Copies of this chain bind each other. A is one copy, B any other.
Amino acid sequence: MSASRTDEILDVAEASIRKGGFDAVSFRDIAAAIGIKSASVHYHFPHKSDLGRAVVSRYGERLFAALGAPDAPGAAPRKRIKRLTQAYRDALAPEGDACLCAVLGAMTQGLPEPVSKEISAFYDRLLGWTKTALKGGKSTMTPEMIVSSLIGAMILAVERGQPKLLADAEKAILAAVAD
Contacts and interface: CB of A to CB of B under 8 A. Distances in A.
Interface of A: 18-24, 97-98, 102-103, 105-111, 119-120, 123, 141-142, 144-145, 147-153, 155-160, 162, 165, 168-169, 172
Contacts of A156: 105, 123, 144, 147-148, 151
Given A23-B24, A106-B102, A107-B21, A144 B123 contact: no
Contacts of A19: 107, 109-110
27 contacts: A18-B109, A19-B107, A19-B109, A20-B109, A21-B22, A21-B23, A105-B155, A105-B156, A105-B158, A106-B107, A106-B155, A120-B159, A123-B160, A141-B172, A144-B156, A144-B160, A144-B162, A145-B165, A148-B149, A148-B155, A148-B157, A149-B152, A149-B153, A150-B152, A152-B152, A152-B153, A155-B155
Nearest to A160: B123
Contacts of A151: 151-152, 155-156
Q: How many copies of this chain does one complex carry?
A: 2
Main secondary structure of the interface of A (DSSP, over half): helix
A106, A108, A169 — which one has the most chain B CB atoms within 10 A of its CB? A106
Nearest to A120: B159
Contacts of A153: 145, 148-149, 152
A153 B120 CA distance: 15
Given A106-B107, A107-B103, A152-B155, A145 B120 contact: no
Contacts of A23: 21, 23-24
Contact of A20 (B24, B107, B120): B107
